[in-house]
Amino acid sequence: SGSRPWRFRAEQAYREELERRRILIPLAEAMDLARRGYDIILSRLRSLPQNVAPRCNPANPNLVMEILEAECTEIIADVRRVYAAEI
């Protein structure tokens, strides 16, 4: 009976470790996933002005494209600053 609490704690720690291993992934894998997501977002942001400007203002898509390009460029610059500071 004296060993039961110890055994219970050991089994609980073992279960928690198994759960942790299923939840956590290696840092390199997490960074790779983040980079892939980042690349997709950057690609979409770069093409967004050209893709949506004609729908936003069919009469003058160039005006909208200039505004969207400026905003997307700022967003990309902000993200790059954050990533550069954390890597």
DSSP labels for 1-58?
-TTHHHHHHHHHHHHHHHHHHHH---HHHHHHHHHHHHHHHHHHHHHHHHHHHHHH-T
- How far apart are the C-alpha atoms of 54 and 73, rounded to whole Å? 19
Q: How far apart are CA 14 and CA 42, in angstroms?
A: 42
Contact 72, 49 (CB under 8 A): yes
Helix, strand or coil for residue 79?
helix
Q: Is the pLDDT assigned to residue 87 strictly greater than 70? A: no
Is the pTM here over 0.85, yes or no? no
- pLDDT band at 14, cuts 50/70/90? confident
The alpha carbon of residue 80 and the mean position of all alpha carbons in its chain are separated, in whole angstroms, by: 13
- pLDDT per residue as tens digits for the range 20-62: 777 767 788 888 998 899 899 999 999 999 999 999 999 999 9
What percentage of residues in the chain have a pLDDT greater than 70?
93
